[in-house]
Amino acid sequence: MTEYRLNIPAEVAYARRWAFSHAPNYYSFEQLGGDCTNFVSQCIYAGGAVMNYTRDTGWYYRSPDDRAAAWTGVEYFFRFIVNNKSVGPFGRLVQLDGTGAGDVIQLGAGGRFYHSLFVIDVREGMPYVAAHTSPAFDRPLSSYTFEQLRCIGIQGARRW
CATH-assigned architecture of domain 2-159:
Alpha-Beta Complex (3.90)
Cα(146)–Cα(74) distance, integer angstroms: 15
Q: Contact, 47 vs 5, CB < 8 A?
A: no
Q: Where are the alpha helices (DSSP H) in 54-149?
A: 69-72, 74-83
Q: Contact, 40 vs 46, CB < 8 A?
A: no
- Spatial neighbors of 93 by CB under 8 A, at least 6 apart, are 82, 150, 151, 152, 153
pTM value is 0.98
149 pLDDT exceeds 90? yes
pLDDT tens digits, one per residue of 61-104: 999 999 999 999 999 999 999 999 999 999 999 999 999 999 99
pLDDT tens digits, one per residue of 95-139: 999 999 999 999 999 999 999 999 999 999 999 999 999 999 999
Cα(143)–Cα(160) distance, integer angstroms: 41
